Amino acid sequence: MSEAREVTGSRKKAPMREVLAEAAFQLYLERGFERTTVDDIVARAGVGRRSFFRYFPSKEDAVFPDHESCLADMTAFLDAADDDSDAVEVVCDGARIVLRMYAANPEFSVQRYRLTREVPGLRTYELSVVRRYERTLAGYLRHRWSDAADGALRAEVVAAAVVAAHNNGLRSWLRSGGEGDAEAAVDQALDLVRRMWGEAGQAPGAAEGDGEVVVMVAPKGAPMWRVIQRVESALRDD
């Protein structure tokens, strides 16, 4: 009986998180992010303030309610990957987990993209989320390339390239209003990363000469988010 109650309780928590996130997002669209308070959100959802903070530490977190579970899915996928597989292929497949999350709800994803373009604070928060995905991919690559002298460096560079390529294709789809094939756009961008860094048939880190090369220059000591922006710009201009 106690086990049944626990299961029932866990089922009630997931819908409440969704109700709060939906109420918050509706208000952000109606009133604007800055003019919406936590009190407004809980009033719309019909719950108390304590309920909101049980699920979301801040208003910003309510804009990105699905990233925690997506990051957990990516981590589990990488943990289960075969050590004999192409490491670059694995992280590209890991990035597609994020794509599928966005593509599962195009209308919400497009509205969120537009909202983050309008609110600088949300853009900053989004960059911190992107960085978490990048660190997860880099951690996997560091493990796979731990025996290589430049393994740690290569892991950071390839992870940044995968994230930049994924985001380039994803944002192209979002800017179109969610029209077209999101997976095709991301696959095209990730293919550049695979051609440059893929391990199949070559030494790790050695690029074949039959593909186009994108050169990106960043100031020494530039923060990683700036490097990612430069890579995205290079891909977009290619």
Nearest by Cα to 42 from 58, 17, 65, 24: 24
DSSP state of 136: H
- Would you state the pLDDT for residue 198? 78
Q: What is the mean pLDDT of the chain?
A: 84
Q: Which residue has the higher pLDDT, 27 or 1?
A: 27
The model's confidence at residue 150, banded by pLDDT at 50, 70 and 90, is very high
Residue type at 138 in one-letter notation: A
Q: Which residue has the higher pLDDT, 118 or 9?
A: 118
Tokens of 228: 């990612």
53 contacts: CB under 8 Å, gap ≥ 6: 38
Q: By percentage, how much of the chain surpasses pLDDT 90?
A: 66
Task: Assign residue 111 a region (left: φ > 0; alpha: ψ between -120 and 50; beta: otherwise).
Answer: alpha
Q: What is the CA radius of gyration of the chain?
A: 20
Sign for the CA dihedral angle at 107, 109, 110, 112 comes to positive
Residue 52: enclosing H or E segment and its boundaries? helix 49-55
Mean pLDDT for the stretch of residues 28-51:
92
pTM for this prediction:
0.75
> How far apart, in whole angstroms, are the C-alpha atoms of residue 165 and residue 182?
13
- Token look-up 């106690």 returns 2
The model's confidence at residue 16, banded by pLDDT at 50, 70 and 90, is confident
What's the N-to-C CA distance of the chain in angstroms? 61
> How far apart, in whole angstroms, are the C-alpha atoms of residue 205 and residue 19?
46
Tokens of 64: 């990105």
Evaluate if residue 205 carries a pLDDT over 60: no
Please give the domain boundaries of the chain with CATH numbers for all domains. 2-62 (1.10.10.60), 66-237 (1.10.357.10)
Q: Are 91 and 201 in contact (CB under 8 A)?
A: no
Tokens of 163: 């994230």
Tokens of 30: 């109606």
- Would you state the pLDDT for residue 14? 40
Q: Are 102 and 108 in contact (CB under 8 A)?
A: no
Tokens of 231: 């890579």
